[in-house]
Amino acid sequence: MKFKAIKKITLVLLLSMVFSVNATELKVAVAANFAQTLKEISTVFEKDTGHKLAITQGSTGKLYAQISQGAPFEVFLSADDETPERLITEGKAISGTRFTYAIGRLALWSPRPDLVDEGGQVLKTDKFRFLAIANARVAPYGRAAVQVMQKLGVLASIEPRVVQGESITQTFQFVSTGNAQLGFVALSQISENGKIKSGSAWIVPENLHEQLRQDAVLLNPGKDSPAASALLNFLKSDKAKKIIASHGYQF
């Protein structure tokens, strides 16, 4: 009796798994900083083309590890330009499909309206207990944050107070909950229509870190997918660029 029930349940579970894998959903891996923007783009994209996106977000390094281990993503929107290039070299992505879909900006941000000053002088003070950055080993925005602190000569004094989010999303969450008083986040996370939504921020000048050139690439599983190439083309369209720019990205 019991075995029969278990068999039935297993069968139902297996069947539901088979049917839930929707063939028309395009699997996109996206760097965490761009996830919110991509969600907005996906609604327009879906309306225009009928293709649905299944979005997976994470740090660029983590997604790279997943892709190189055979994750079935069809399109990869990275937070840097090196990772897509490396995937092409390793034969995991299609050469000739890589392009820059946005250039990101780093911002030092605090939900407190008076903490962060224009110029980031707060970094030289003891006005904070914790500063959050994204894990520099896997997230380009974390790497950029370390470069900024190095350039300003404050890395050694701040290092014991640095907490690392596993992606820029968790970094933002650490700061927005107030557990870290300030942090290096993506400008896209704190801006809306060209304005800082709340708190105080310093948009870090681009000469203080390597440019956050964010590249997209077509991955091997998406080779023959019309939806995948449609998305890559759509990202180059004015419609998409308008949304991207509204989140504080440049081109």
Task: Decide: is 107 part of the binding site for other proteins (CB under 8 A).
Answer: no
Task: Decide: is 166 part of the binding site for other proteins (CB under 8 A).
Answer: yes
Exposed/middle/buried for 86, CB within 10 Å: 0-12, 13-18, 19+?
middle
The one among 41, 115, 138, 146 contacting other proteins by CB under 8 A: 138
- Write down the least CB distance from residue 47 to other proteins, Å: 33
Size of the site for other proteins (CB under 8 A): 21
Task: Decide: is 165 part of the binding site for other proteins (CB under 8 A).
Answer: yes
Task: Decide: is 132 part of the binding site for other proteins (CB under 8 A).
Answer: yes
Which residue's CB is nearer to other proteins, number 26 or number 35? 35
Task: Decide: is 222 part of the binding site for other proteins (CB under 8 A).
Answer: no
Binding mask 180-209 for other proteins (x = CB under 8 A): x-----------------------------
Which residue's CB is nearer to other proteins, number 83 or number 97? 83
Task: Decide: is 119 part of the binding site for other proteins (CB under 8 A).
Answer: no
DSSP codes joined into one string, the chain: -HHHHHHHHHHHHHHHHHHHS-TTEEEEEEEHHHHHHHHHHHHHHHHHH--EEEEEEE-HHHHHHHHHTT---SEEE-SSSHHHHHHHHTTSB-TT--EEEEEE-EEEEESSTTT--TT-GGGGSS--S-EEEE-TTT-HHHHHHHHHHHHTT-HHHHGGGEEEESSHHHHHHHHHTTSSSEEEEEHHHHEETTEE-SSEEEE--GGGS--EEEEEEEBGGGTT-HHHHHHHHHHTSHHHHHHHHHTT-B-
Of residues 39 through 98, those in contact with other proteins by CB under 8 A are 59, 61-62, 65, 68
Which residue's CB is nearer to other proteins, number 131 or number 240? 131
The one among 72, 119, 153, 178 contacting other proteins by CB under 8 A: 178
Task: Decide: is 174 part of the binding site for other proteins (CB under 8 A).
Answer: yes
Token output for 39:
């969600």
The one among 97, 110, 135, 188 contacting other proteins by CB under 8 A: 135
- Write down the least CB distance from residue 67 to other proteins, Å: 11
- Write down the least CB distance from residue 140 to other proteins, Å: 13
Token output for 51:
């293709």
**Interaxial angle between packed helices 238-246 and 226-235, expressed in degrees from 0 to 180 and rounded to the nearest 10:** 60
Footprint of other proteins on this chain (CB under 8 A)? 59, 61-62, 65, 68, 129-130, 132, 135, 137-138, 162-166, 174, 177-180
